[in-house]
Amino acid sequence: MKEFTLEPAKMIAWCKDPKLCVLWLVIFGILFGTLGVNIYFLYSYYKAEVLMRYVFLGVGLIVVFGIVSLIFITCRKTHRLHLHHYTVGALALLFIGY
C-alpha cells in the first residue's frame, strides 16, 4: 500500500509490476463498495417512502454548497475562507440518519 496514490502517472505504472496490480483491485473494491452502499440506501429509502425527503435534502445541500462556493469566489481577494472536510462529512451523515 506504500505505492497507493491517485496520481495518473503512478496509476499507469501499477500494472507494470504484477504485485502492484492488486492496487487496481483496491480501487475498484472501494468504488463498487461505495456504489453498493448508496444503492442499498436509495432502495431502503424508497421502501420506507422517504426517498423524496432525501432528494430534497440532497438538492438543498447542493444549493447551500453552491452558495458557499460563490461566497468563496467573490470574497477571495479580501478574505480567506475555508470549509473543513469534517463539516461536509457531518452534513453528509444526514443521508444515513433515517
Interval 49-87: pLDDT, tens: 999 988 898 898 889 888 888 887 887 777 776 767 777
pTM of the model: 0.59
- Do 37 and 58 fall into the same domain? no
- Do 41 and 55 fall into the same domain? no
- Do 39 and 1 fall into the same domain? yes
Domain count, the chain: 2
- Do 61 and 43 fall into the same domain? no
Structural domain span for residue 90? 50-98
DSSP 32-82: HHHHHHHHHHHHHHHHTT-HHHHHHHHHHHHHHHHHHHHHHHHTTTT----
- Do 13 and 38 fall into the same domain? yes
- Do 54 and 81 fall into the same domain? yes
Interval 24-52: pLDDT, tens: 888 899 999 999 998 998 899 899 999 99
- Do 2 and 43 fall into the same domain? yes
